[in-house]
Amino acid sequence: MLIKKHDAAISEDEWKSFLASCDFGELIASGRGRDVPIVVPTHFIYDGDRIIRLHLAAPNPVWGALAENPLALVSVYGDYSYIPTHWNANQGAPIEYGVPTSYYAAVQAIVRTRTVDDPEELAAILRGQLAHFQPEGGHAPVEPDNDYGKLFGSIRGIVCTIEDVRAKFKYGGNKTVEHRLRIADRLGERDRGHDAAARAQLLRRTER
């Protein structure tokens, strides 16, 4: 991922906060000597620091790739919006020659994975996911010795320890404050898709 200086994360807190706002992304495992990596869309939970946990079906092809190479990538993106040509033209330049762009946030966490088959640890991962995704409850306790436990043979868990992060917040950081505020106004007026989220990111990074 190309990250120019003006698009780089301001601090660890910035990428951690964005990653904490996400709970769905892609686990990408390159394995060894493969033509293409294994890419798995998946829910996950993040502890706010260095650990990401998830579980996947036992037949998933990712396990072979992780056995070959435990290093993988967890990739998330969001708060994106298309910025049209006439919005992005520089002040005084013909708007018909404006250059369109995309605003977005993206975090790619390089992780060292550990596969979990132990019933107690697998139950703990599932409890954490249920607490996050279904805080209202309405389910039986997740225990290795009840009916949930009978299903453990069909899944495996993964604990991902973050070793490095590539983080990008592309919100016109190479433009003047006046230019960025003008685009923020346009995003507010259009207000479709992820415009509101992109506008919030743009204003946050403009006010720093």
pLDDT of residue 95: 85
Could you tell me how many residues make up the chain?
A: 208
* Domain presence at residue 183: no
For the stretch 42-98, pLDDT in tens is 999 999 999 999 999 999 999 999 999 999 999 999 999 999 999 999 888 888 889
pLDDT of residue 208: 60
* Domain presence at residue 94: no
pLDDT of residue 185: 97
Indicate if the alpha-carbon torsion angle 11, 77, 3, 202 is positive or negative.
negative
> Is residue 207 over pLDDT 80?
no
Burial state string for 98-111 with b = 16 or more CB within 10 A and e = fewer than 16: beebebbbbbbbeb
- Backbone φ and ψ for 203, nearest 5 degrees, come out as -65, -40
Domain of residue 70, residue span: 5-84+100-174
* Domain presence at residue 136: yes
* Domain presence at residue 93: no
CATH of residue 111's domain is: 2.30.110.10
- Mean pLDDT over 135-140 rounds to 96
* Domain presence at residue 117: yes
* Domain presence at residue 179: no
Return d(Cα 139, Cα 155) in angstroms, integer. Answer: 18
* Domain presence at residue 17: yes
pLDDT of residue 92: 82
- Backbone φ and ψ for 66, nearest 5 degrees, come out as -70, -30
- Backbone φ and ψ for 33, nearest 5 degrees, come out as 65, 25
Antiparallel, parallel or unpaired: β 45-46 and 51-57: antiparallel
Return d(Cα 76, Cα 45) in angstroms, integer. Answer: 12
For the stretch 90-116, pLDDT in tens is 888 888 889 999 999 999 999 999 999
Q: What is the 3-state secondary structure (H, E, C) of the chain?
A: CCCCHHHECCCHHHHHHHHHCCCEEEEEECCCCCCCCEEEEEECEECCCCEEEEEEECCCCHHHHHHHCCEEEEEEEEEEEEECHHHHCCCCCCHHHCCCEEEEEEEEEEEEEEEECCHHHHHHHHHHHHHHHCCCCCCCCCCCCCCCHHHHHHEEEEEEEEEEEEEEEECCCCCCHHHHHHHHHHHHHHCCCCHHHHHHHHHHHHCC
Q: Which residue has the tokens 């249920």?
A: 130
* Domain presence at residue 59: yes
For the chain, give the mean pLDDT: 96
Indicate the number of domains in the chain: 1
pLDDT of residue 79: 98
How sure is the predictor about 163, in pLDDT bands with cuts at 50, 70 and 90?
very high
